[in-house]
A and B are shown apart, each in its own frame.
Chain A
């Protein structure tokens, strides 16, 4: 956006007068997208507004007659409750740890996939398999793997007793949950990074090589800066995804030992306790935190999204 303003600045750019044809085309375009816009509003805007509306009420599905307008009280209840902050802490922790590890492993995988000279298709496909597995299934698979009765993790790890129960304590439960999460989504990360790697021009790399840049220098001075947009998109997608973590926790611990995430807390309020009011307030808060997060990541990487899409 800012670049656009700059180019327009020097001398009051003449506001192009649209030809009849352009106007007709624009009007046709609007008509063509209208159904899609209406559909989008119905399926996304309606539930969002409905959640916003419900969040202002004290409303239980099992006591419909007691529905009562309470304004922002539900938000205050959530924000002043230690449980909310404990679960937010968990969620942020899972997000930071998993996204960091996934970024590192994912980048390594992307390099491997990029440089492959033999069996390209086979190796690329096999790296991508975990991402094709349904999260609930991978959650169960990892739960069995970590189980102290029929799992194999305990017998593989040297410093851990065979009867160690991973799901009895907070720390070990979180490790198991995050291991499953990382295993499952690293391929997604590497796929996005691979696309970024492909954009780095070989000419630049060769020029750097001729100038005597070492491998490390080429990585930090040429490859990574040119991949910034791709890295941001990968981190953005995965961070937002990780912030909504639900399936693995649901399957592996069901929130036992304080391993609950914000999504899980919301789920319990709405689905288990039928508290539509406070549940909606929590989901609105979840939505807002995701927005803030997205904004922060975009700012952090200082990437112009339209530039990333090469629109200019």
Chain B
């Protein structure tokens, strides 16, 4: 209520902009809210729930009711098409659009904020997955990690050497992230990219050779000794402990960028590396290829800042969005919170070079630049649930899975099946 009172003043009163954030990097985001406030408006942080589904529902409920107090929001890239299609996001125009999306923004991140030829959000930070591994393990397996490796090679190397492969295969969004990356890595797509923006009329293309290749990788891992015990319920956190076990050679793991800072903070702690030399055994490489010789398409995540279409202070909110996503803001998020930038210039900055090894920064920025987006559809959450329902459990994935999921996904999009 105090918010409304503050806004209602009209002349003289200072405006308040509400910024709905997800819980990642709160300390730095609070500082950003302060530094980006001006004499005309204050940015006030509002915290969203921890789960991505709950964040989406809460924002959607507000926006569907045309809430005028939702000014800025931190959005997972997969929600952007959905929100933009419902016209809940105020697009950036003219000079501001150029500012938000200049040449400095990495391609993978830039793709996530465009809808219908408009810039509907501003990329704030970008996440991507790379292959994390123990250097000693790769050496023992005879894998040349300077060249791109394939999933086949990684799974074989792990199972031949008593190691494991960590992935995310619980029935949730990150499993779709994995499936999507595998399919795109084989040159395919869940939905035909040229029709994906048509919503219900999008062409389902998961039943393809690429789909079968992806199912093949999942089946191979499920059937191999390299699968971790909690394979079918694994998430981003469950496989972290297998990298530096008290006994054993460690693991290969595809996971997001936070892994580096995570293990750095665990040096000489339980389930962390032994000393600095132990930490130096942590290696990183580009996301594995699905098909040998075909460049992999690493997953893209992160956060985009959207401006609520019903905000009372659209101009202020857009200016604030530009401020909290500029190079300075991105540097602070990367150095303090480990949330990697979506701008190339920030990767090249002195502050980041001090905080991360140069080759890791190069890997991250390349990975974001050449990564593959998840289907850009206003029906993404249904698409994701439909895929999860037919590809889980990973132990049951096999040659028929792409066809099964294609039929189901088509029925869902046409409104002929329940999810």
Contact = CB atoms under 8 A, between A and B. Distances in A.
A277 B415 contact: yes
A43 to B, nearest CB: 18
Contacts of A77: 415-418
Contact of A63 (B60, B379, B385, B417): B379
A84 B417 CA distance: 10
Contacts of B53: 272
A169 interface: no
Contact of B60 (A61, A70, A275): A61
Nearest to B64: A61
B418 A83 contact: yes
Contact of A62 (B85, B415, B419): B85
A274 interface: yes
B244 interface: no
Interface string B41-55: 000000000000100
Contacts of A74: 415
B57 interface: yes
Q: Which of A58, A77, A272 has the most chain B CB within a 10 Å cutoff?
A: A272
A81 B419 CA distance: 10
Interface residues of A, number: 25
Nearest to A271: B57
B309 to A, nearest CB: 12
Nearest to B61: A271
A58 B53 CA distance: 23
B116 to A, nearest CB: 11
Nearest to B199: A63
B203 interface: no
Given A61-B64, A63-B378, A272-B53, A70 B86 contact: no
Given A63-B199, A81-B418, A272 B381 contact: yes
A269 B418 contact: yes
B83 interface: yes
A273 B381 contact: yes
Interface of A is mostly: helix
B200 interface: yes
Contacts of A268: 419
Contacts of A66: 199-200
A39 to B, nearest CB: 23
Contacts of B418: 77-78, 81, 83-84, 265, 269, 278
Q: Which of A62, A66, A271 has the most CB of B within 10 A?
A: A62
Given A70-B415, A271-B57, A272-B57, A58 B200 contact: yes
Interface in B98-112: none
A148 interface: no
Nearest to B56: A272
B379 A62 contact: yes
B82 interface: yes
Nearest to B419: A273
Interface string B404-419: 0000000000011111
A164 B263 CA distance: 32
Interface in A254-312: 265, 268-269, 271-275, 277-278
A280 to B, nearest CB: 12
Given A77-B415, A278-B415, A60 B57 contact: no
Nearest to A58: B415
Contacts of A272: 53, 57, 381
Nearest to A277: B415
Interface string B361-387: 000000000000000001101100100
B417 A62 contact: no
Contacts of A278: 415, 418
A77 to B, nearest CB: 5
Contacts of B382: 273, 275
Contact of A269 (B61, B82, B87, B419): B419
Interface string B341-374: 0000000000000000000000000000000000
A285 to B, nearest CB: 11
Contacts of B419: 83, 268-269, 273
A161 interface: no
Interface string A83-123: 11000000000000000000000000000000000000000
Nearest to B416: A77
A273 B64 contact: no
Contacts of A273: 381-382, 385, 419
A278 B419 CA distance: 11
A273 B61 CA distance: 12
Interface in B273-306: none
A62 B85 CA distance: 6
A62 B86 contact: yes
Nearest to A83: B418
A150 B419 CA distance: 33
A269 B419 CA distance: 8
Contacts of B87: 64
A73 B415 contact: yes
Interface string B63-91: 01000000000000000001101110000
Nearest to B415: A58
Interface in B138-192: none
Contacts of A81: 417-418
Nearest to A70: B415
A275 B83 CA distance: 14
A77 B381 CA distance: 19
A219 B132 CA distance: 73
15 contacts: A60-B199, A61-B60, A62-B86, A62-B378, A63-B85, A63-B86, A63-B378, A63-B379, A74-B415, A77-B417, A81-B418, A268-B419, A269-B418, A271-B57, A272-B53
In the A-B complex, the 5 residue pairs with the closest CB atoms: A62-B86, A81-B418, A62-B82, A83-B418, A63-B378
Interface of B: 53, 57, 60-61, 64, 82-83, 85-87, 199-200, 378-379, 381-382, 385, 415-419
